[in-house]
Structure 1
Amino acid sequence: MMRLITASRNALSMIAFTNCAISCTERTRECKHEVMPQVRHSLTVRGRRLARELRATREHADLTLEQASAALGWNRFKLGRIEAGKTRVSSPDVTRILDVYGVDPSVNATLVQLARDASRRGWWNSYSGIYSGGYVGLEDEASEIRTYHVQLIPGLLQTEDYARAVISAGVPDDQDEVNKRLHARMARKTLLSRPDAPVLNAVLAESALRQRVGGAAVMRDQLTALIKAAGRSNVAVRVLPYRAGARAGIEGSFVVLSFEDDLDPDIGYSEGIYGNVFIEGVEQVSHCRVEFDRIWEAALSEEASERFITDIASKF
């Protein structure tokens, strides 16, 4: 069951990019090292796990980054980027790294297979000009998605007409590009209907429900589809109405992704006009989870949210 939350103030609709990442930046200078801009070749969950394992293996071998790089005949920055999860690494290179580290063959085989898995093409590779694989690659492997939106319906819940209107606003003079992006977004939506679909807990600001996108008919259909989506066993929707006040949600839109394997830590994410950020620091991700829980508790129940959405839809 999916939860949809509507925000508490009209002002929230103006805060699309300000989020828990910005909040933690204000609270501590150290956060800026944890909030990472999306890179062109961002890795999937498996790729990030491999990066952590390679670093841990080097440290277990009691080798510094400089010593390991010299033994491999590489520039230290190449190995550093691999261990930081900023670049992909091939399975032959993983084999070479582990040989230098003197790793047990059984461990070697496991990590080489992980490298192969991390290099597999995802569905988003067909849309390389639209999706980098950064966020969608992580979303595709998530077991739970917690999302709070201030201005718009989340992409995973958008109807085709609503999505077309949103995309057209960004590229109004290029219909071919609109169609390509629309096709990609509709492909992304299939995530929620897969056999291994994640749990989606969506929190929407009331402003997102009232924002007229594509006209009255488009909004009626979108809100009706939203209610239908909330009937899925893996989707829960709540609304945080204006009357809830400024108790929660004032930091803007954000997402928290959780994964089935405990070895894969939660990741926070936000996007805006100035770029996209991943939030990976333990304290900062914890702040995002706490903030989401506050928003969730301040919102209407799922049943009350359904009635609330139905009422708004009737007025379009």
Structure 2
Amino acid sequence: MRRLHLGRILRELREEAGLSLEVAAPALDWSSSKLSRIENGRQGVDVHGVRTMMDIYGVVGPQWDELLDLTRSVSEKGWWRAFGLDDKGYVPLEAEATLVREATTAYVPGLLQIEAYARAVFAIHQRTDAELDNLTAVRRIRQERLTSLEDPLELVAVVDEVVLRRPVGGPAVMRTQLAHLVEAAALDRVTLQVLPMSLGAHPGLSAPFTLLTFGGIDFGDMVYVEHPIGAVHISKEEEVAVARLKFDRLRSLALDPDASVALIQRVAAET
């Protein structure tokens, strides 16, 4: 996300200077394709390169230091690297987000999963014990932000009632998971709503999705959608706007937070 943010700023500075890719790239001793990759966030750039760009684009004032600091932060390794994850998945995106809006019909949202539930989900894909340990550790670190004062994260989750009734990990694990959902729903930064089975078909059945809002980075919202062979990140505003409308529609169909907690408690009593 930081690389994308930096690339967008560098593109805007070039355009403000009235330079095309074809004019700016030779002045930097780069190809037009390299400069385009940097501006699109597909390739990194070092401090020396950014200094040269700012010289050519006529950048002056405090923006120099701000851009150089941002460039240095881009090259820093994320904490998730220590657990075997790269920078291309969901975790680096969420790490920069301040608000997560998630709609799911498959599993309890990761930010609300207990360890035994999470391990049962991860084990579906034939993970080694070491991989399971790393993945559950990453999940714990992510969840800490829901109560963190230094790096807060807000979660608004809409889940299908089927999620509550699917005994992932077995009945005992599920009872503990449901009790945890009740506790998590009481947190100031968590809003949890349930789509009751009595609705029948609803717009959320098509595919789970997550909306990410980046409060500390001027990037706009992003939609993250997983599919059987990977995931897609969507940032085009018109497509993101459709996802926002869909999420708001699901919230309007779902039980309110208090009624949702009451339903979770009823399901727990039946489990």
> Taking structure 1 as the reference length, what is the TM-score of the superposition?
0.81
Question: Which of 203, 206, 209 in structure 1 is aligned with 2:158?
Answer: 203
Question: What letter corresponds to residue 308 of structure 1 in structure 2?
Answer: L
The aligned counterpart of 1:100 is 56
Q: Distance in 2 between matches of 1:272 and 1:148?
A: 14
8 A contact 2:98–2:216 mirrored in 1: no
Question: Which of 94, 118, 131 in structure 2 is aligned with 1:177?
Answer: 131
1:90 has 2:40 as partner: no
Question: What letter corresponds to residue 119 of structure 1 in structure 2?
Answer: S
Equivalences for 1:169-248 in 2 at 5 Å?
169-172=124-127, 174-195=128-149, 196-248=151-203
The aligned counterpart of 2:33 is 77
Identify unmatched segments of 5+ residues in structure 1. Answer: 1-43
Question: What letter corresponds to residue 307 of structure 1 in structure 2?
Answer: A
8 A contact 2:153–2:189 mirrored in 1: yes
The aligned counterpart of 1:36 is none
Question: What letter corresponds to residue 183 of structure 1 in structure 2?
Answer: A
8 A contact 1:203–1:237 mirrored in 2: yes
Offset of 1:134 from its aligned partner? 4.2
1:277 has 2:242 as partner: no
Name the CA shift for 1:131/1:239 in 2 (closer, same or farther; >3 Å).
farther
Offset of 1:232 from its aligned partner? 0.3
Name the CA shift for 1:262/1:50 in 2 (closer, same or farther; >3 Å).
closer
Q: Distance in 2 between matches of 1:91 and 1:311?
A: 57
Offset of 1:67 from its aligned partner? 1.5
Question: Which of 78, 98, 105 in structure 2 is aligned with 1:150?
Answer: 105
Question: Which of 118, 124, 130 in structure 1 is aligned with 2:74?
Answer: 118
The aligned counterpart of 1:298 is 253
Give the 4+ runs in structure 1 shifted more than 6 A: none
Single out whichever of 229-238 and 134-143 deviates more from structure 2: 134-143
Cα deviations by residue, 1:60-87 (Å, 9 ceiling, x for unpaired): 1111112111111112221111101112
Name the CA shift for 1:96/1:134 in 2 (closer, same or farther; >3 Å).
farther
Aligned residues: 270
Question: What letter corresponds to residue 314 of structure 1 in structure 2?
Answer: A
Q: Distance in 2 between matches of 1:249 and 1:176?
A: 34
Q: Distance in 1 between matches of 2:207 and 2:101?
A: 14
Question: What letter corresponds to residue 91 of structure 2 in structure 1?
Answer: V
Q: Distance in 2 between matches of 1:233 and 1:180?
A: 28
Equivalences for 1:257-276 in 2 at 5 Å?
257-261=212-216, 263-276=218-231
1:51 has 2:7 as partner: yes
> Taking structure 2 as the reference length, what is the TM-score of the superposition?
0.94
Question: Which of 84, 94, 102 in structure 2 is aligned with 1:139?
Answer: 94
8 A contact 1:201–1:237 mirrored in 2: yes
Structure ranking higher on relative contact order (CA contacts 8 Å, 6+ apart): 1
Offset of 1:170 from its aligned partner? 1.0
Q: Distance in 1 between matches of 2:81 and 2:130?
A: 19
Identity %: 39
